[in-house]
Amino acid sequence: MLATVFGAGAVAVLRTAWAVVGFAGVLLQNLTFTAVMATRLALTTTPDPGLWALHDALFVFNGTFLALAMTGLSLAGAGAGLIRPWHSRIGLVAAALQFASAVLGPLVIEDPGPIGLLGLAGWLIWVVWLVAYGVALRSPVSATSHRAG
């Protein structure tokens, strides 16, 4: 729910196509994560292998949509001067890590090894990105000061 408010706030401030793409990623991520939680709940009563496969597949899609959200909102924020260049770069790096983890999802599901750390690294960078973006939305600075830093 809060992610939706965050995404809507970004669209309201930025008003660009990239912001809408990012918001679409947020909405899809919310829907997918709801399905992930529903399958987890179902797994508490029936530990079915088919449900586990569905859970894992939905979790992979969740990372894909998170990558879409970070890409859209990073490009929109940078283009509008709302976020600093370093902030946009870490958003795109986190998105790339999330997407790589999603693409390699079948390998991670089969044998969670070092490849699984791609998604974790992307998620940790996303946390920093999200907090910094929230601060930028609450107190936007002029575009000229962003371009300098």
pLDDT digits (tens, 9 = 90+) for 60-116: 888 899 999 999 999 999 999 989 999 999 999 999 999 998 888 888 777 777 887
| Cβ proximity of 84 and 143 under 8 Å | no
pLDDT of residue 145: 47
Give the span between the Cα atoms of 100 and 106, in whole angstroms.
11
Indicate the pTM of the whole model.
0.82
* Pairwise pLDDT comparison (148 vs 55), residue with the higher score: 55
| Cβ proximity of 46 and 16 under 8 Å | no
- Give the domain ranges of the chain: 2-148
CA 84 to chain CA centroid, nearest Å: 18
